[in-house]
């Protein structure tokens, strides 16, 4: 990322999300299986140097791993315009054991933020289902993504296109709508828009995680966050 982020920006990229589950290099290695903490940090710094005004950082909140590290994360965003997004661990098809061992509600973080003077912001257009908190002493902000909370999906404006060219209407939906045949040429744009618009009617109002149904998503790395 440090090497290429400027070229990505020149090519038209406007927003970046980076995954950082721990600010402790050894724990980062243990969680990700990759000893690349320093590289990831250098990549984020390079994004700011290249002119990105904000970087979103996703951190999956895990009991006994990073749920006690809020103050370390907050120190990190005090002087950096990072939107740090704590995402509650979700139970996916293959992740039952992990979920039972490490799931913790984002309420723990929300309570601490409110106690420390952070304030919940009105929902912004690009926030999706995240609750965003700001504090006057910090350049960064905190987003909480709490999928098991009531009405979590009510403000969902997310659509995803997989590397296979399938449009996924929900992280936990079924096989998706193939767009592949309409992605080859700019002349197909009208047809592409029409198929996407038609598909939106099939977007469900909520996920079915509470019933243990994760659709085809056996593992979040399959579809991205």
Kindly list the residues in this chain that would bind ligand SF4 in the complex (CB under 6 A): 129, 147, 152-153, 156, 158, 170-172, 207
Between CA 123 and CA 65 the distance in angstroms is: 29
Between CA 153 and CA 173 the distance in angstroms is: 13
Least spacing, CB of residue 147 vs ligand SF4, in Å: 6
Question: 25 vs 156, which CB is nearer to ligand SF4?
Answer: 156
Least spacing, CB of residue 196 vs ligand SF4, in Å: 15
Question: 1 vs 156, which CB is nearer to ligand SF4?
Answer: 156
Least spacing, CB of residue 177 vs ligand SF4, in Å: 15
Q: Helices 107-115 and 70-77: crossing angle, nearest 10°? A: 60
Question: 81 vs 128, which CB is nearer to ligand SF4?
Answer: 128
Least spacing, CB of residue 145 vs ligand SF4, in Å: 8
Least spacing, CB of residue 175 vs ligand SF4, in Å: 15
CB atoms within 10 A of CB 140: 20
Least spacing, CB of residue 55 vs ligand SF4, in Å: 21
Question: 74 vs 110, which CB is nearer to ligand SF4?
Answer: 110
Question: 22 vs 217, which CB is nearer to ligand SF4?
Answer: 217
Question: 110 vs 207, which CB is nearer to ligand SF4?
Answer: 207
Q: Over the chain, what HEC string results?
A: CCCCHHHHHHCCCCCCEEECCCCCHHHHHHHHCCCCHHHHHHHHHHHHHCCCCCEEEEEEECCCCCCCCHHHHHHHHCCCCEEEEEEECCCCCCCHHHHHHHCCCCHHHHHHHHHCCCEECCCCCCCCCCEEEECCCCCCEEEEECCCCCCHHHHCCCCEECCCCEEECCCCCCCCEECHHHCCCHHHHHHHHHHHHHHHCCCCCCCEHHHCECCCCCCHHHCCC
Question: 57 vs 209, which CB is nearer to ligand SF4?
Answer: 209
Least spacing, CB of residue 221 vs ligand SF4, in Å: 16
């Amino acid at each position: 990322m440090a090497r290429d982020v400027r070229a990505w920006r020149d090519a038209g990229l406007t927003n970046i999300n980076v995954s950082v589950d721990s600010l402790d290099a050894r724990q980062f290695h243990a969680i990700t299986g990759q000893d690349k903490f320093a590289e990831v940090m250098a990549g984020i710094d390079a994004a700011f140097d290249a002119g990105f005004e904000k970087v979103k950082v996703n951190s999956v909140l895990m009991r006994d791993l990073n749920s006690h590290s809020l103050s370390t994360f907050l120190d990190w965003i005090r002087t950096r315009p990072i939107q740090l997004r704590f995402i509650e661990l979700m139970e996916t098809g293959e992740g039952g054991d992990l979920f039972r061992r490490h799931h913790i509600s984002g309420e723990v973080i929300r309570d601490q933020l409110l106690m420390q003077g952070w304030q919940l912001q009105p929902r912004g257009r690009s926030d999706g289902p995240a609750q965003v908190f700001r504090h006057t002493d910090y350049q960064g902000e905190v987003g909480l993504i709490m999928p098991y909370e009531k009405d979590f999906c009510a403000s969902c404006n997310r659509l995803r296109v997989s590397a296979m060219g399938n449009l996924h209407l929900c992280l936990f939906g079924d096989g998706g709508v193939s767009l592949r045949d309409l992605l080859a040429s700019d002349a197909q744009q009208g047809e592409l828009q029409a198929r996407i618009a038609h598909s939106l009617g099939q977007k469900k109002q909520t996920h079915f995680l509470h019933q243990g149904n994760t659709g085809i998503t056996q593992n979040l790395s399959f579809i991205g966050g």
